[in-house]
């Protein structure tokens, strides 16, 4: 009797990296859901709009603060004390300069958004650059050595502490300042813990040669991050100028919900992927296998969830944010579908950096920026829902170009991975539609928590049925076959591989 070959990710180091990163991301998801679910009922929409505008500035500052310095430590073949000290000097100096600029010009920068209180929030949050500049190098050293368990411990503690602080301040009517203080506390505590756990202290050595080496790689990364920043952050100032703070609040909250699964799941996988991909490329074998498995795993894990969030956007908004935020549900529909694409495209930047293809990174980043900026400018006059719709289509076409070239550069077979990802899309869409019809037409459940719980459970159940049916040819009982199939798919196995009989 034939049996199905189950092939998982064999590299234990990569699996451990992703496990610990996923652990901290899971805690972060819980904390973020609690933060939005609780604080959105205390803090009004215009306060969230002010904080969203503040983060546009902070995100831009982060682009220049990092400059690819941390990634250069992970990517370099050999690492010595002079290289590390030089990288630390660059990282800390950039962070401190940005801190001074924001402290001096916070009022002028805040006035550009036309929203009250943004300048004061920028002044508070700017302190994170002093701490993040100090903590970036020990974090990179921990990631390079595979100590993701220590990273998880630091980030879990700081996330929980920051949530408690935000809750206390929000209850005491601090408004958006509660969010700003929480963000600062999170970054500051995490940076201090990185230094402690890495058992590393900065030295005073410096090398002009190493500095040029770091800045040469970092310059290209900085260029890409700058371009990517425009693509990801132009929406907030455009909406704030055209439609006001309240519409920014609705849009930003819907965007945060979309980012939960996308940012946290892909963040866990990408942080574990980058050091391993650099190692595989240095050794000259296996890089394309790892990358293709990452794409399959992401499409299997994220797409059913994001399509479910899109179809049940009204219930998601009602349960997570409350009834007063229901106007954001049409926006969430399109943003959730966009998240399906962004989940896969998010891997391309790290892959190109690992391959050293900085020129291609800049070109693809420029294309993405032009498409997305065009969507924002064309759509905002018709409202945030139409803008979100155009944003989806901009990401769709950008995703096709970006994934095609990265898969080609890394040496994988485009037809094979396209077939697997396409089948995952068909399975995900079918399962979610069946589950939606079940709760809507059969059970006739109203918008609310019960509909969300039953619907998500139905998606999980139907997905398990599909996996079992695909895996029916393997040996063992029902549960054994099912668990083999789940492990196979999560590990990034090929859907067509279910029928590889030996």
Query: Would you list the DSSP string of 293-344?
Result: HHHHHHHHHHHHHHHHHHHTHHHHHHHHT-GGGGGGHHHHHHHHHHHHHHHH
- Number of neighbours of residue 226 by Cβ within 10 angstroms: 16
> What pLDDT does 397 receive?
94
**pLDDT < 70 positions in the chain:** 1-29, 32, 35-37, 61-62, 64-68, 77, 217-220, 264, 267-268, 271-272, 466-502
> What pLDDT does 395 receive?
93
Give the burial class of 96: count Cβ atoms within 10 A of its Cβ; 0-12 exposed, 13-18 middle, 19 or more buried.
middle
Instruction: Give 361's contacts (C-beta < 8 A, 6+ positions apart).
Output: 220, 221, 224, 349, 352, 353
> 144: closest CA among 284, 282, 264?
282
pTM for this structure?
A: 0.68
> What pLDDT does 494 receive?
47
> What pLDDT does 129 receive?
84
What is the chain's percent helix, strand, coil content, to nearest 5?
85, 0, 15
| DSSP 8-state assignment for residue 439 | I
How would you label 144-169 residue by residue, b for 16+ Cβ within 10 Å and e otherwise? Answer: bebbbbbbbbbbbbbbbbbbebbbeb
Q: Per-residue pLDDT tens for 246-255? A: 788 888 888 8
> What pLDDT does 14 receive?
55
> What pLDDT does 8 receive?
41
């Amino acid at each position: 009797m034939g049996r199905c070959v189950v092939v998982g990710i064999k590299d234990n180091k990569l699996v451990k990296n992703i496990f610990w990163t996923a652990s901290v991301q899971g805690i972060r998801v819980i904390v973020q859901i609690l933060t939005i679910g609780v604080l959105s009922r205390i803090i009004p929409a215009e306060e969230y709009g002010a904080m969203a505008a503040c983060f546009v500035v902070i995100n831009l500052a982060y682009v220049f603060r990092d400059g690819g310095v941390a990634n250069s430590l992970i990517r370099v073949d050999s690492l010595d004390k002079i290289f590390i000290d030089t990288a630390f000097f660059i990282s800390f100096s950039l962070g401190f300069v940005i801190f001074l600029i924001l402290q001096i010009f916070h009022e002028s920068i805040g006035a550009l958004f036309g929203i009250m209180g943004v300048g004061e929030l920028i002044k508070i949050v700017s302190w994170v650059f002093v701490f993040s500049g100090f903590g970036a190098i020990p974090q990179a050293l921990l990631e390079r050595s595979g100590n993701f368990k220590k990273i998880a411990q630091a980030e879990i503690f700081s996330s929980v502490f920051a949530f408690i602080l935000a809750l206390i301040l929000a209850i005491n009517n601090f408004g958006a300042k509660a969010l700003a203080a929480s963000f600062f506390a999170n970054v500051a505590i995490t940076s201090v813990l990185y230094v402690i756990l890495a058992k590393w202290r900065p030295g005073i050595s410096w090398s002009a040669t190493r500095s040029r080496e770091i800045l040469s790689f970092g310059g290209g990364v900085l260029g890409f991050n700058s371009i990517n920043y425009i693509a990801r952050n132009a929406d907030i100032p455009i909406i704030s100028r055209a439609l006001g703070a309240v519409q920014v609040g609705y849009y930003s909250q819907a965007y945060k919900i979309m980012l939960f699964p996308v940012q946290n799941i892909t963040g866990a996988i990408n942080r574990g992927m980058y050091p391993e991909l650099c190692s595989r490329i240095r050794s000259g074998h296996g890089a394309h296998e790892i990358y293709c498995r990452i794409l399959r795993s992401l499409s299997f894990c994220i797409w059913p969830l994001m399509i479910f969030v899109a179809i049940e956007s009204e219930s998601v908004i009602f349960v997570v944010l409350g009834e007063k935020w229901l106007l954001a549900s049409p926006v969430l529909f399109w943003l959730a579908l966009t998240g399906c694409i962004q989940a896969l495209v998010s891997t391309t930047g790290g892959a190109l950096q690992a391959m050293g293809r900085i020129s291609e990174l800049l070109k693809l980043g420029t294309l993405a920026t032009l498409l997305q900026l065009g969507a924002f400018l064309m759509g905002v006059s018709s409202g945030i829902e139409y803008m979100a719709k155009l944003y989806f289509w901009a990401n769709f076409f950008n995703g096709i170009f970006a994934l095609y070239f990265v898969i080609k550069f890394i040496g994988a077979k485009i037809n094979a991975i396209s077939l697997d990802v396409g089948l995952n899309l068909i399975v995900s869409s079918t399962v979610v539609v069946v589950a939606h019809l079940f709760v809507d037409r059969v059970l006739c459940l109203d918008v609310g928590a019960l509909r969300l719980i039953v619907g998500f459970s139905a998606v999980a159940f139907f997905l398990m049925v599909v996996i079992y049916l695909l895996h029916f040819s393997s040996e063992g009982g029902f549960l054994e076959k099912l668990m083999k199939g789940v492990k196979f798919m999560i590990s990034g196995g090929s859907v067509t591989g279910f029928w590889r009989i030996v």
